[in-house]
């Protein structure tokens, strides 16, 4: 500890928590500036975290992100879909989406537009019924390196051998501090949603604060104490909404622990809260990810190189004691073109006054396979549902999707759905 | 807080919501058109094939 670890305070705000400041400042002024009791402890903690070589755990929402990018159900097309994207300039994009022929949803048209800069992003999408989905992001810690527009990087060109490909994006610190606003608006009252969120991802922890439909001026609940003199109903305000606080901390280079608190008060009369715990195990691979085994000898791998520091396997479990929900997932990258995943969701509630206990589960297996011009995803789960999607890149900017799903557990030999999609971007 | 104040705040919020609902997409289009160079053609709003 020759240099003061407090110099790294911007990335480790816990080294100088604001609430401790007045008392600690007085103590520090009384003694030498180096080692008053609370500071030395915090110094040591900051140095310990620095030396432990911890990795960023990612955000709470992204705990299962690897599995979600593999599972076919997240990419299924129902009926037919036609996507037109106009890239007007590197920061400005306009999208049209037509979809029809689905058994569940009526034909629809969506118009979307997006404006993005290195600091922030605004995205709006309106459908033919007048419903608007608006999103805005603002990154407070935008650095030029980490926020280069995606269009500036050279796209992957499979005709070139691996060693002539554009190099991997340079080592960027995965730190960000982003405020987000999301709003869903439709004409009818009671169907509007506003979500305010702040996401702070630092080098070894992440913090997420979220408020959905916050309303600090709602009516008091019916059981609020009445005015003792006049007997009139209370005029005090109640804060309603859904509030979430999530924190993830890496404790070793491979293991991150986290917890999330959700407080719900949708109406003044009802109040609920729930606590969840998470473990994420993502070791850094010791050997680089292998190219596919069936390549002819000497042929350079036509697949994009994988970041050697990115974990090749991730195990995540989230447990919510209040609802008895266990959600765990395992993802593994086998080689440059193949990723596999397994997911398990369990609902375990003991017998109680609320009713009999429940014990239900759903397990899913999936894979994602890249070939040079296409991506294939397949998935099977324990309810007998089998789904697959093929995405074919016909030419740069033109893609074709074919998706299918069949539920063998449904009567009459199973119920299936197919879909085709056409994507054009220019 | 008085019932009337509460209603007034709610009314203001509803006005703001309506303004965002109507104005958000035109605002993004305005930003996109005025801040990109070279200025894209209006026809590309409708089709990516127009140049």
Can you tell me the distance from the alpha carbon of A373 to that of A396, in angstroms, rounded to the nearest whole number? 10
Other Cβ atoms less than 10 A from the Cβ of A403: the count is 22
Task: Give the distance from residue B35's alpha carbon to the nearest chain A alpha carbon, in angstroms.
Answer: 9
The pLDDT confidence band at residue A364, using thresholds 50, 70 and 90, is very high
Q: Do B33 and A132 touch (CB under 8 A)?
A: no
Provide, as residue numbers in chain A, all residues whose Cβ is less than 8 Å from the Cβ of B17.
185, 192
Is B7 inside any structural domain? yes
Write the ipTM: 0.88
Overall average pLDDT of the B1-9 stretch: 86
Can you tell me the distance from the alpha carbon of A198 to that of A178, in angstroms, rounded to the nearest whole number? 6
Nearest CA in chain A to B45: A94
Is B17 inside any structural domain? yes
Other Cβ atoms less than 10 A from the Cβ of A417: the count is 17
pLDDT score of A330 = 96
pLDDT of residue A77 exceeding 80, the answer is: yes
Q: Do B44 and A124 touch (CB under 8 A)?
A: no
pLDDT score of A411 = 76
In this complex, which of B6, B31, B48 lies closest to A86 when CB atoms are compared? B48
- The number of folded domains in chain A is 1
Is B33 inside any structural domain? yes
Is B41 inside any structural domain? yes
- A86, A110, A196: best mutation site toward chain B, by most B Cβ within 10 Å? A86
Task: Give the distance from residue B15's alpha carbon to the nearest chain A alpha carbon, in angstroms.
Answer: 13
Q: Which residues contact A201 (CB under 8 A, 6 or more apart)?
A: A56, A58, A59, A174, A175, A176, A177
Concatenate the DSSP letters of all residues of A301-331 into one string. Answer: P-SPPPPTTS-SEEEEEEEETTTTEEEEEEE
For chain A, percent of residues with pLDDT exceeding 90: 45
Q: Tell me which residue range forms the domain holding B34.
A: 3-46
From A276, A178, A249, select the one nearest A14 (Cα to Cα).
A249
The pLDDT confidence band at residue A148, using thresholds 50, 70 and 90, is very low
> What own/partner pairs with CB < 8 Å and gap ≥ 24 does A249-254 have?
A249/A57, A249/A204, A249/A205, A250/A54, A250/A55, A250/A56, A250/A57, A250/A204, A250/A205, A251/A54, A252/A52, A252/A54, A253/A52, A253/A53, A253/A54, A253/A55, A253/A283, A253/A284, A254/A55, A254/A281, A254/A282, A254/A283, A254/A284, A254/A311
Containing A48, the helix (H) or strand (E) segment is helix A37-51
Q: Does A193 lie at the interface with B, CB-CB under 8 angstroms?
A: no
- The number of folded domains in chain B is 1
The domain spanning residue A344 has which CATH number?
Answer: 2.40.160.10
Is B29 inside any structural domain? yes
Can you tell me the distance from the alpha carbon of A100 to that of A77, in angstroms, rounded to the nearest whole number? 10
Per DSSP, helices labelled H in chain B are: 3-35
Is B38 inside any structural domain? yes
Query: What's the mean pLDDT when you consider all of chain A?
Result: 82
Q: Do A132 and B24 touch (CB under 8 A)?
A: yes
Task: Give the distance from residue B30's alpha carbon to the nearest chain A alpha carbon, in angstroms.
Answer: 10
The pLDDT confidence band at residue A372, using thresholds 50, 70 and 90, is confident
Is A30 inside any structural domain? no
Provide, as residue numbers in chain B, all residues whose Cβ is less than 8 Å from the Cβ of A238.
none
Is A12 inside any structural domain? no
From A137, A134, A133, A135, select the one nearest A118 (Cα to Cα).
A137
**Phi (first) and psi of residue B26, to 5 degrees:** -55, -35
Is B30 inside any structural domain? yes
From A269, A174, A181, select the one nearest A221 (Cα to Cα).
A269
pLDDT of residue A32 exceeding 60, the answer is: no
Per DSSP, helices labelled H in A52-167 are: 65-70
pLDDT score of A191 = 83
Task: Give the distance from residue B23's alpha carbon to the nearest chain A alpha carbon, in angstroms.
Answer: 10
Is A43 inside any structural domain? no
pLDDT of residue A145 exceeding 70, the answer is: no
Helix (H, G, I), strand (E, B) or coil at A216: strand
> Are A314 and A331 within 8 A, CB to CB?
yes
Q: Do A92 and B24 touch (CB under 8 A)?
A: no
Between chain A and chain B, the number of residue pairs with CB atoms below 8 A apart is 76
Is B51 inside any structural domain? no
The pLDDT confidence band at residue A151, using thresholds 50, 70 and 90, is very low
Other Cβ atoms less than 10 A from the Cβ of A143: the count is 13
In this complex, which of B24, B36, B49 lies closest to A124 when CB atoms are compared? B24
**pLDDT tens digits along A204-236:** 899 999 999 998 888 888 888 887 888 777 777
**pLDDT tens digits along A199-211:** 999 888 999 999 9
pLDDT score of A281 = 95
Is A296 inside any structural domain? no
Can you tell me the distance from the alpha carbon of A160 to that of A291, in angstroms, rounded to the nearest whole number? 15
Total-model pTM: 0.78
Those of residues 68-87 in A touching chain B at CB distance below 8 A are: 84-87
Can you tell me the distance from the alpha carbon of A385 to that of A366, in angstroms, rounded to the nearest whole number? 12
DSSP-derived pairing of the beta strands A415-425 and A79-89: parallel
Provide, as residue numbers in chain B, all residues whose Cβ is less than 8 Å from the Cβ of A425.
48
Q: Tell me which residue range forms the domain holding A58.
A: 54-141+173-218+238-287+310-425
């Amino acid at each position: 500890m020759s240099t003061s670890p407090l110099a790294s305070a911007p990335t480790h705000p816990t080294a100088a928590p604001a609430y401790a400041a007045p008392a600690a400042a007085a103590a520090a002024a009384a003694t030498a500036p180096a080692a008053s009791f609370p500071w030395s402890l915090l110094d040591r903690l900051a140095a310990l975290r620095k030396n432990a070589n911890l990795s960023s755990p990612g955000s709470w929402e992204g705990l299962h992100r690897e599995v979600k990018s593999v599972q076919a159900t997240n990419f299924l097309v129902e009926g037919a879909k036609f996507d037109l994207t106009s890239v007007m300039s590197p920061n400005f994009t306009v999208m049209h989406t037509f979809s029809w022929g689905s058994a569940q949803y009526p034909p629809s048209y969506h118009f979307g537009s997006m404006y993005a800069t290195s600091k922030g992003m605004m995205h709006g999408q309106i459908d033919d019924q007048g419903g608007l989905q608006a999103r805005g992001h603002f990154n407070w810690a935008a650095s030029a390196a980490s926020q280069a527009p995606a269009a500036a990087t050279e796209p992957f060109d499979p005709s070139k051998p691996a060693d002539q490909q554009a190099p991997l994006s340079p080592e960027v610190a995965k730190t960000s501090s982003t405020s987000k606003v999301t709003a869903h608006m439709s004409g009818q009252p009671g169907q509007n949603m506003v979500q305010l969120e702040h996401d702070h991802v630092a080098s070894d922890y992440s913090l997420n604060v979220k408020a959905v439909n916050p309303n600090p001026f709602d009516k008091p609940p019916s059981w609020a104490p009445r005015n003792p003199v006049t007997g009139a109903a209370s005029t005090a305000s109640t804060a309603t909404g859904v509030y979430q606080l999530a924190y993830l901390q890496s404790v070793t280079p491979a293991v991150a622990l986290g917890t999330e608190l959700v407080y719900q008060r949708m109406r003044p009369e009802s109040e609920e809260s729930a606590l969840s715990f998470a473990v994420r195990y993502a070791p850094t691979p010791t050997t680089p990810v292998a190219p596919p085994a069936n390549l002819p000898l000497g042929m350079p791998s036509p697949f994009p190189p994988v970041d050697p520091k990115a974990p090749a396997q991730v195990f995540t479990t989230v447990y919510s004691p209040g609802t008895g929900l266990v959600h765990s997932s395992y993802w593994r990258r086998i080689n440059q073109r193949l990723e596999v995943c397994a997911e398990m969701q369990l609902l375990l509630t003991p017998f109680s006054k609320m009713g009999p206990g429940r014990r239900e589960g759903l397990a899913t297996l999936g894979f994602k396979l890249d070939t040079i011009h296409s991506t294939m995803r397949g998935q099977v789960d324990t309810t007998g549902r089998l789904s697959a999607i093929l995405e074919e890149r016909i030419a740069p900017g033109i893609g074709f999707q074919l998706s299918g799903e069949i539920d063998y557990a449904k009567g009459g030999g199973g119920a299936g759905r197919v879909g085709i999609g056409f994507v054009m971007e220019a | 807080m008085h019932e009337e104040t509460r209603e007034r705040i709610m009314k203001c919020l509803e006005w703001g919501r309506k303004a965002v609902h109507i104005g958000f997409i035109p605002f993004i289009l305005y930003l996109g058109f005025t801040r990109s160079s070279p200025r894209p053609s209006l026809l590309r709003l409708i089709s990516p094939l127009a140049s």
